[in-house]
Chains A and B, each alone.
Chain A
Amino acid sequence: MGNLSYIILLPLIASLVVGFGKLGATYSRLVAIGVIGIQLLLLAKIALVFDTTQVGFQLAESHDWIHLNLGSLGQFVSKYAIGVDGLSLGLILLTGLVSFVALWNSEDIKEKLAGYYALVLLLNASLMGCFLARDMFLFYIFFEFMLLPMYFLIGIWGGPRKNYASLKFFIYTLVGSLFILIVMLGIALAYMDPYETAISLQKLGVNQGFGIEALQSMQTALAAHEIAPNQIVHSFDLQALSDANNCQPNNLFSPQSGFLLGGLSGRAWGFWLLFIGFAIKLPLVPLHTWLPDAHVEAPTPISVLLAGVLLKIGAYGWLRMAIPFFPNEALEASSIMAGLGVLSIIYGAYNALAMSDLKKLVAYSSVSHMGFVLLGIASFTPEGWQGAIFQLLSHGILSSLLFLMVGVLYHRTGNRQIDNFSGLASKMPKYTLISGIAIFASLGLPGFSGFIGEFFSLMGAFTSTHLTPIYAILGSLGILLGAGYLLWTFQKIFLGSYFVRETSWDLPDLSTLELISLFGLGILSIIFGIFPGIIFELSEIFVTNSLNNLFR
Chain B
Amino acid sequence: MPVQTIFLALLALPWLSALAIALLPKKIQATVSIVLAGIFTYLAFQVGHQPEGSISYPWFNLGGKTISAHFWLTKSAQLLLLLVSIIALLVQIFSKSYLAEDPKIGRYYTYLHLFIGSMSLLVLTDQTYLFYGAWELVGACSYLLISFWHQKESAIKAAKKAFLLNRIGDIALLFGLLGLSNYFGTSLFSEMHGAAPALIGMAVIMGGIGKSAQFPLMSWLPDAMEGPTPASALIHAATMVAAGVFVGIRVFPFIGEEAHLFMGGIGAISLVAGAFMALFQNDIKKALAYSTISQLGLMWLGMGSSASMFHLYTHGIFKAGLFLTAGSVIHYLHHQKATHDLDAQSLNLMGGLRKQLPLSFLAYVVFGAGMLGIPFSSGFYSKENIAGFLWQSAEHSVYANYYYVLLAALGLGMVLTASYMCRQTYLIFLGQNRGGNTLEKGHTEWLQILPISLLIFLSLFVWISMNPMDSEHSVFMAFFHLENYHIPGFWLGITAGSWIAGLGITYLTRRSVPKTNVQFLGFLWPAMYRLAWYLGQKAHRFDARIVDRIVVKFTELQVIIAHMSAWTDRHLVDGSVSLLASISQSLGARLRTWQSAQLHRYWFWVFFTVVFILIYLLY
**A and B interact:** yes
Binding site for B on A (CB under 8 A): 73, 151, 167, 170-172, 174, 178, 181-182, 185-186, 189, 252, 285-286, 288-289, 347, 350-355, 381-383, 386, 423, 425-426, 440, 444-447, 451, 455-456, 458-459, 462-463, 469, 472-473, 476-477, 479-481, 483-485, 487-488, 491, 494-497, 531-533, 536-537, 540, 543-544
A182 to B600, CA, bound (A): 19
Chain A minimum-CB-distance residue to B155: A495
* Inter-chain contacts of A382 with B (CB < 8 A): 62-64
Within 8 A of A (CB), among B20-60: 59-60
- Within the complex, which residue of A182, A456, A537 is in contact with B610, where a contact is CB–CB below 8 Å? A182
A182 touches B614 (CB 8 A): yes
Assess the A456–B600 pair: CB atoms within 8 A: no
Please report the C-alpha to C-alpha distance between residue A184 and residue B615 in the assembled complex, in whole angstroms.
11
Interface residues of B in 520-550 (CB under 8 A from A): 532-533, 535-540, 543, 547-548
Contacts A446-B136, A462-B178; A495 near B147 (Cβ below 8 A): yes
Asked if B160 is an interface residue, CB under 8 A from chain A, the answer is yes
Chain A residues whose CB sits within 8 angstroms of the CB of B547 once the complex forms: 285-286, 288-289
Which residues of chain B have C-beta atoms less than 8 A from A286's C-beta? 547
14 interchain pairs (CB within 8 A)?
A151-B600, A170-B603, A171-B555, A171-B600, A171-B603, A185-B611, A285-B547, A350-B532, A382-B63, A386-B63, A477-B171, A480-B167, A496-B151, A540-B61
Residues of chain A contacted by B147 (CB below 8 angstroms): 491, 495
Inside 8 A of A423's CB, which chain B residues have their CB?
150-151
B559 to chain A, nearest CB (A): 10
Closest B residue to A535 by beta carbon equals B60
B551 within 8 A of A: yes
Q: A178-B607, A446-B136 are in contact. Are A458 and B174 (CB under 8 A)?
A: yes
The answer to whether A544 and B64 have CB atoms under 8 Å apart is yes
Contact call B539/A189, Cβ cutoff below 8 A: no
Q: Is the CB of A455 within 8 A of B129?
A: yes
Q: Is the interface of A mostly helix, strand, loop or mixed?
A: helix
Q: Is there a chain A Cβ closer than 8 Å to B188's Cβ?
A: no
Nearest CB of B to A388, in Å? 13
Given contacts A455-B129, A483-B167, contact A383 B63 (CB under 8 A): yes
Give, as a whole number of angstroms, the nearest-CB distance from A58 to chain B.
19
Q: Which residues of B lie under 8 Å from residue A531 when comparing CB positions?
A: 60
CA distance A171 to B597 in the complex (A): 13
Shortest distance from the beta carbon of A433 to any chain B beta carbon, whole Å:
10
Kindly list chain A residues whose C-beta atoms are within 8 Å of the C-beta of B182. Answer: 462-463
Q: Which of B63, B167, B599 contacts A167 (CB 8 A)?
A: B599
Q: A355-B540, A446-B136 are in contact. Are A186 and B618 (CB under 8 A)?
A: yes
Residues of B within 8 A of A446 (CB): 132-134, 136-137
Partner of A476, one of B63, B174, B540, B607: B174
Instruction: Give per-residue flags for B572-615: 1 if the beta carbon is below 8 A from chain A beta carbons, else 0.
Output: 00000000000000000000000000011001000100110011
Report chain B residues within 8 Å CB of A172. 551
Q: How large is the interface on B (under 10, 10 to 19, 20 to 34, 35 or more residues)?
A: 35 or more
Complex Cα distance, B60 from A456, in Å, reads 13
Q: Which residues of B contact A167 (CB under 8 A)?
A: 599-600
Inter-chain contact B60/A536, CB cutoff 8 Å = yes
B101 within 8 A of A: no
Q: A171-B600, A174-B607, A386-B63 are in contact. Are A487 and B160 (CB under 8 A)?
A: yes
Beyond the given A354-B536, A479-B171, A480-B168, please list 19 additional residue pairs across the A-B interface where CB-CB is below 8 A: A178-B611, A185-B611, A186-B614, A347-B543, A350-B535, A354-B537, A445-B140, A451-B133, A455-B174, A473-B175, A476-B175, A477-B171, A484-B532, A491-B156, A494-B150, A496-B150, A533-B59, A533-B60, A544-B63
Whole-angstrom CA separation of A455 from B136 in the bound complex = 12
Cα separation A385 to B536 with both chains bound (whole Å)? 30
In the complex, the answer to whether A445 meets B136 with C-beta atoms within 8 Å is yes
A73 and B619 in contact, given A185-B614, A540-B61 (Cβ under 8 angstroms): yes
List A contacts of B600 (CB < 8 A).
151, 167, 170-171, 174
Q: Kindly report which residue of chain A lies nearest to residue B607, judged by CB atoms.
A: A178
Chain B neighbourhood of A381, CB < 8 A? 63
Q: Which residues on the A side are within 8 Å of B403 (C-beta)?
A: none
* Residues of chain B within 8 A of A473, CB atoms compared: 171, 175
A13 to B607, CA, bound (A): 30
Known contacts A383-B63, A456-B62: A351-B168 contact under CB 8 Å: no
Q: Is the CB of A289 within 8 A of B160?
A: no
How distant is the Cα of A543 from the Cα of B536 in the complex, in angstroms? 36
Mask: chain B, 132-157; 1 = CB below 8 Å from A; 0 = not: 11101100100100010011010011
Task: Give CA–CA (A440, B168) in the complex, Å.
Answer: 17
B462 within 8 A of A: no
C-alpha gap A469/B203 in the complex (Å) = 13
Q: In this complex, what residue of B is CB-closest to A163?
A: B597
Distance between B243 CB and nearest chain A CB, rounded to angstroms:
14
CB distance from B542 to the nearest CB of A (A): 9
Chain A nearest Cβ from B158, distance in angstroms: 11
Bound complex: CA of A70 vs CA of B137, how far in Å? 63
Q: What's the Cα separation between A533 and B178 when bound, in Å?
A: 20
Check B178–A463 contact: CB distance below 8 A.
yes
Q: Is the CB–CB distance between A491 and B160 below 8 Å?
A: yes
* CB-based contact A496/B156 at 8 Å: yes
Given contacts A171-B600, A186-B614, A536-B61, contact A481 B133 (CB under 8 A): no
Determine which of A483, A494, A540 lies in contact with B164 in the assembled complex, contact meaning CB atoms within 8 Å.
A483
Residues of B with C-beta under 8 A to A447? 133, 137
Check if B63 sits within 8 Å of A351, measured CB to CB: no
Q: With A and B bound together, what is the CA distance between A444 and B170 in angstroms?
A: 12
Nearest Cβ distance between residue B322 and chain A, in whole angstroms? 29
Given contacts A185-B614, A382-B64, contact A480 B175 (CB under 8 A): no
Contacts of B538 in A (CB 8 A): 350
Closest chain A CB from B123 CB (angstroms): 15
How far is B600's CA from A550's CA once the two chains are assembled, in angstroms?
A: 38
Report the bound CA distance from A286 to B546 in whole Å. 10
Distance (whole angstroms) from the CB of B69 to the closest CB of chain A: 10
Chain B positions within 8 Å of A440 at CB level: 140
- CB of A459 to closest CB in B, whole Å: 6
In the assembly, what is the distance between CA of A381 and CA of B156, in Å?
A: 40
Q: A286 to chain B: closest CB distance in Å?
A: 5
Q: Please, which residues of chain B bring their CB within 8 A of the CB of A544?
A: 63-64
- Is there contact, CB below 8 Å, between A496 and B62? no
Cα–Cα distance between A151 and B603 once the two chains are bound (Å): 14
